[in-house]
A and B are shown apart, each in its own frame.
Chain A
């Protein structure tokens, strides 16, 4: 078994302690407000499958380009370090940090009109970063120069997040952590969407919208949809260096009603999730 497969199984584990179980990605609000109902036929817009198709479509078009971008710039910096004279890696760490913060604050701007989603993304990103710093960064495989640089970036990010100077959102931290661990970009993107879909299915089970066995059936059948989304979005990278970039379509929402329903979340009578 190769190291990447081993890592992927760790990262795909439903017990991964990143706080994913507190988020329903808008499903709880959508259910209570009537966008999703138990009785809708599978695939209809009001069904769980319809909801997951729509929300994963939006996620792939809006968040995945951030994840891919952070992954790529971090990997490139780390590659460049290997062939440069930056012995301590301080220069590389500073560059990765600056790139990360630029992408992350742009991601933040895309969530600043959607407080519930922003809160969930920052909480989960913070959870994953903390897991990286206290877990993976301590592993023996991270003891080389590359690993030490990544560990120092992770620590500094957490420090800046505590000061409120960085936000550490889920897709950007996800991209950074996967690059730091040496997971391939293709696997990173697959894992990102897998986790997103799995999180909503697990929320659906806890909301009693679907039973655990039926959820496995449905999750099994999600594969063609996710494969299609990856084919469409794996090449997308968010661009934000100019006004034209910001006006561009590199990262877009595709599900306006989902955002609307997420905004209702804090007005629910009773709730078990925080998004």
Chain B
């Protein structure tokens, strides 16, 4: 078991065509890995464009209390081994509760002021030929919440793939809390690790996307309630990247209509604003997608529809855990 509170490990490898999954977590983090599907699920998918079907795996990252409390430090080390397609999911949005100045959570005492914050850190390694899908529900920061999320995905060469979804909402909209949190910081790193020799390797940062939203300086978000960044990189998710690319190419910017009059759901989905940027750096290819919408549900539906090609990569059983 990991020693420190909030630490977890997800280690997936494929050995002789079978999934070997080592999962552990320490309070207040809980990681659950359902063993509902095996290699057969993926091999049954005839439409997969990959030479060898990937062995699917899925884990739920959860926390006791249903969210992140002031002072929590979640730290998850992830490895997706060659031949494996690992999905990391959550059950419901990650709620970040209000920040209570001067109070420490969970015996994680420290002197520094910056340590007085809630963190979630994911350090992931994706080996050659593997796929990692980070598909959480959005982060919802409550009023006065202070939250930092740090994710680093190291791709071991250009055959490693990642689909990273990082998204957030304006807050507890049902309570009228919109953009009422104190601070939201999210940084996503994509690193490319190339072997130099038998014992050494070099990793370089391919993408660094760092977003800081502070209560005092929210300029243009007022008419939106959900914002998503997606990084779709590598051969295993090329079909998903192509969906975005094609739709982007066909798109022509039309005049914007204010969202206040949007009542029904279809109307909501038409109001998703999105754009696609090509990524091609040091052999890491794919797209970066940014999307914003007036409601979380509309954005979720918008995203899910476009991720549909993943079904043939993950296999029906594993995919249904995300797309149910």
The residues of A with any CB-CB pair to B shorter than 8 Å are: 29, 32-35, 45, 50-51, 53-54, 57, 61-62, 105-106, 108-110, 112-116, 240, 243, 246-247, 249, 251-264, 267-269
Q: Are B251 and A243 in contact (CB under 8 A)?
A: no
Over the window 188-211 of chain B, the binary record of Cβ atoms lying under 8 Å from chain A Cβ atoms (1 yes, 0 no) is 010000000000000011111111
**Does B59 sit within 8 A of A, measured CB to CB?**
no
Interface residue SS majority, chain B: strand
Q: Which residues of A contact B292 (CB under 8 A)?
A: 256-257, 260
Known: A246-B205, A260-B291, A264-B253. A113 touches B150 (CB 8 A): no
Alpha-carbon distance between A62 and B212 when the two chains are bound, in angstroms: 10
Q: Are B275 and A267 in contact (CB under 8 A)?
A: yes
A sample of 9 inter-chain contacts (CB < 8 A) reads A33-B256, A34-B256, A108-B281, A110-B209, A112-B288, A113-B231, A255-B220, A256-B213, A258-B220
Q: Are B211 and A253 in contact (CB under 8 A)?
A: yes
Over the window 268-295 of chain B, the binary record of Cβ atoms lying under 8 Å from chain A Cβ atoms (1 yes, 0 no) is 0000011111110100000010111000
Over the window 146-159 of chain B, the binary record of Cβ atoms lying under 8 Å from chain A Cβ atoms (1 yes, 0 no) is 00001010000000
**Does B109 sit within 8 A of A, measured CB to CB?**
no
Q: Which residues of B contact A114 (CB under 8 A)?
A: 277, 288
Q: Are B207 and A112 in contact (CB under 8 A)?
A: yes
Alpha-carbon distance between A62 and B187 when the two chains are bound, in angstroms: 13
Alpha-carbon distance between A254 and B210 when the two chains are bound, in angstroms: 9
Q: Are A54 and B253 in contact (CB under 8 A)?
A: no
Alpha-carbon distance between A259 and B166 when the two chains are bound, in angstroms: 15
Closest residue of A by beta carbon distance from B151 = A247
**Does B217 sit within 8 A of A, measured CB to CB?**
yes
Q: Which residues of A contact B273 (CB under 8 A)?
A: 33, 257, 260-261
Q: Which of B170-178, B221-229, B303-311 faces chain A?
A: B221-229
Q: Are A255 and B219 in contact (CB under 8 A)?
A: yes
Alpha-carbon distance between A208 and B288 when the two chains are bound, in angstroms: 31
Chain B's nearest CB lies how many Å from the CB of A42?
Answer: 14
Contacting residue for A113 out of B219, B249, B288, CB 8 A: B288
Q: Are A257 and B276 in contact (CB under 8 A)?
A: no
Q: Which residues of A contact B189 (CB under 8 A)?
A: 243, 246-247
Alpha-carbon distance between A58 and B281 when the two chains are bound, in angstroms: 24
**Does B214 sit within 8 A of A, measured CB to CB?**
yes
Q: A33-B273, A252-B211, A259-B290 are in contact. List 8 more A-B contacts (CB 8 A).
A: A29-B253, A51-B220, A114-B277, A255-B219, A256-B227, A257-B221, A263-B290, A269-B252
Q: Which residues of A contact B231 (CB under 8 A)?
A: 113
